[in-house]
Structure 1
Amino acid sequence: MTVTVEGPHQPSAPVQAAYSYCEAVTGQQARNFAYGIRLLPAEKRQAMSALYAFSRRVDDIGDGTLAPGEKKERLEATRDLLDRIRSGKIDEDDTDPVAVALADSARRFPIPLDGLDELIDGVLMDVHGAVYETWDDLKVYCRCVAGAIGRLSLGVFGTQPGAHGADRAPEYADTLGLALQLTNILRDVREDAENGRTYLPADDLAKFGCGDGFAGPLPEGSDFAGLVHFEVRRARALFAEGYRLLPMLDRRSGACVAAMAGIYRRLLDRIERDPEAVLRGRVSLPGHEKAYVAVRGLSGLDTRHIARRDVRRRPR
């Protein structure tokens, strides 16, 4: 997937205002994502902000306080809006800045907008209260809410002309999305439990004696640290596979991906060192450390080092 953009993009004033709105949403709400996309040239950064703002809207519906029936209606209305974007029915005079920005981005880049349908499907799984018995079950959800975002982002990044194995780039982008989502799930186990959600597979919970979730005290004799270390190894295997995408990208796109993934890898490191920390609250990185990861990504240090580091053995 090679993208050629002829000359710098000069959006009209209404389109530029729409992008500015999306960039403001991204800067305010995307704690990790925003650090990565700062490394992109303006037209790609704007497109990624439009994707984020639309995705944020979908997530906010799923995480909001509406009744399930109302959430479904709102999500289907958002899907209808996506259909209008896909069919070219949104122009710069539309009153929805997210739709205007995403429609312009889709004209500029070969973004596979069907990935946003998958995101909506994944959020509907949350609304329906889906339970995941096995890792294969959870992968379906992760591919919808995160793998699809990886493939959408690849539509903006493109691959370098002549990149070896570029036909597998969407697969690697999808896998990297799974790695990020599994890290999110580990980070948020307590918060999700308080909202009535358990994402880790039921058979993994049973294997380590952790009952049916984390809303209350863990059962006596449970091996929560063992569960976390098992899932960390799974996430590292996904990162190692997904990082095969990096050599296929241009320098700044590769730096963006390396920065975003690098932040999550460091989160994974912290979780591995102190598994019980996720039961006390959200594990996060300070801003200066995120900035350091971004600089390493732009310098190419993480891009060269990453693939050699992660996986010692895959979970059995």
Structure 2
Amino acid sequence: MISIAQSHEKCARICAASGSNFIAAFRFLPRRERMAMEAIYAFMRTADDLADSEASLSCREEMLRCFRVFFESSLNASVDSSVSDAFSSEIPSITSADEDWRPIFPALLEVIRQYRIPAQYFFDVLDGVQMDLEPNFFQTAEELETYSYRVASAVGLICLHVWGVPPEEIAPEAQTPIFQAAVSCGKAFQWTNILRDVREDAENGRFYLPLTDLKDSEIFKTRERISQAEFAANVQKRILSGDTDLLLPAIQKNLRRTEKFYQETAPLYSAIPPSNRRVFQLMMAVYHRIFLKIRKNPAQIFQKRIKLSKLEKIFLYFRLLFG
């Protein structure tokens, strides 16, 4: 049997091994909330690692399916019992590999209960991870918004439960100003990621920006004669060869979209209790600073991945710590 304490220790180890810059942001939280964020991060990281492994597509699909089924079984087993009792009742193993991620679930289920987090948000995230198993091309901005909701907005809504926003304000059916701001925040962060990673994604056979944003360029004239995948491959080839002038208008269009998403996040700051606010401020500061660097010189995203220097990160960290 895995105790909740052991489960939290496992989640903390996953966080420590990840090397993610945002683990440092958890230090701004009180201990209880920090442990909750570690359990949530462990879930997200494990799902991503299963999807990004070097295994075959069919194997990755099966591993993600097993992960999802085990999560659902764990939720069902804990409905009428304590978390500890649920895991002492021996939820059956689904695959031999589940021993690697099984220990994170007692802590995660405790967090879901304590903070009244809708399980639907976790399933939304898994749906988004599933979309990333193969190179994904989005025809429209609306399709990309759906993807961004799953992989980013749903994560943000989960975090807001931990950070103290009233659950009724951010429930799936709420549609409150806070809910809408959280959704926009996820889209702003995800669009920033996509713009930042344009070249790296092209090297990996991916292009996430809406293909219809290229409709005013010469590239789009070939679209009806070739498949969607071939069209996206043509765009990727231009990025890697440096022939990117025709792509810049689409980048500018998505920069404007992203800026609008950032503007729509304004209600979030006051909605988060002061004791938990700084972790959100740091995340917002990092992402928005990257966005501003891209907006200042959009063409640079075709040559390199835009990131903050160590000095810039230290400045943001200490400004929040002592500001």
**TM-score tier after normalising by the smaller chain length:** 0.7 to 0.9
Whether the aligned pair in 2 keeps the contact of 1:256 and 1:294 (CA below 8 Å) is: no
Which residue is equivalent to 2:184?
A: 175
Asked which structure has the greater CA Rg, the reply is: 2
- The CA distance in 2 between the partners of 1:57 and 1:26, in whole Å, is 10
- Tell me if 1:106 matches 2:112: yes
| 2:41 match | 52
Cα distance between partner residues in 1 of 2:215 and 2:17: 39
Pick from 120, 138, 143 the counterpart of residue 132 of structure 1.
Answer: 138
Measure the CA separation in 1 of the matches of 2:175 and 2:163: 12
Amino acid at match of 1:125: M
Answer yes or no: is the 8 Å Cα contact 2:177–2:267 preserved in 1.
Answer: no
Task: Tell me the residue number matched to 2:93.
Answer: none
Which residue of the partner structure matches residue 31 of structure 1? 20
4+ residue runs over 4 A deviation: 92-95, 160-163, 208-211, 218-221
Counterpart position of 1:191: 200
Q: Quote the Cα distance in structure 2 between the aligned partners of 1:63 and 1:288.
A: 30
Q: Work out the percentage of aligned pairs sharing the same amino acid.
A: 28
- Which amino acid is the alignment partner of residue 229 of structure 1? Q
The residue type paired with residue 177 of structure 1 is: G
Number of residue pairs aligned between Structure 1 and Structure 2: 286
Change (3 A) 1:64 1:161: closer
Higher helix share: 2
CA distance in 1, matches of 2:13, 2:216: 44
The Cα of 1:88 is off from its aligned counterpart by 4.1
The alignment's TM-score, normalised by the length of structure 1, stands at 0.80
Question: Any idea what SS the aligned residue of 1:87 has?
Answer: helix
Q: After TM superposition, give the deviation of residue 197 of structure 1 in Å.
A: 1.4
- SS of the residue aligned with 1:196? coil
Distance in 2 separating the partners of 1:170 and 1:297: 25
Structure 2 residue 304 is the aligned partner of structure 1 residue 281 = yes
1:196-232 Cα distance to aligned partner (Å, 9 max, x none) = 21100001134355663334325475242x4333222
Alignment deviations for residues 139-158 of structure 1 (CA, whole Å, 9 cap, x no partner): 01111111110111112112
Within 1, Cα distance between the matches of 2:164 and 2:244? 50
Bigger drift between 148-157 and 213-222 goes to 213-222
- Structure-2 residue corresponding to 1:270: 293
Whether 1:42 aligns to 2:52 is no
Alignment partner of 2:252 out of 220, 225, 229: 229
List per-residue Cα deviations over 1:132-179 (Å, max 9, x = no partner). 11101110111111111011111211227999x994322221211111
Q: Distance between the aligned counterparts of 1:16 and 1:117, measured in 2?
A: 25
Asked if structure 1 preserves the Cα contact closer than 8 Å seen for 2:161 and 2:167, the reply is no
Unaligned stretches of 5+ residues in structure 2: 91-98, 221-231
- Root-mean-square deviation (Å): 2.8
Deviates more, 1:201-210 or 1:191-200: 201-210
1:123 maps to which residue? 129
Q: CA deviation at 1:106?
A: 1.6
Rate the CA distance shift 1:292–1:88 in 2: closer, same or farther, 3 A.
farther
Deviation, 1:61, is 1.9
2:76 pairs with 71, 74, 87, which one?
87
Q: Which residue of 2 aligns with 1:207?
A: 216
Partner of 2:156: 150
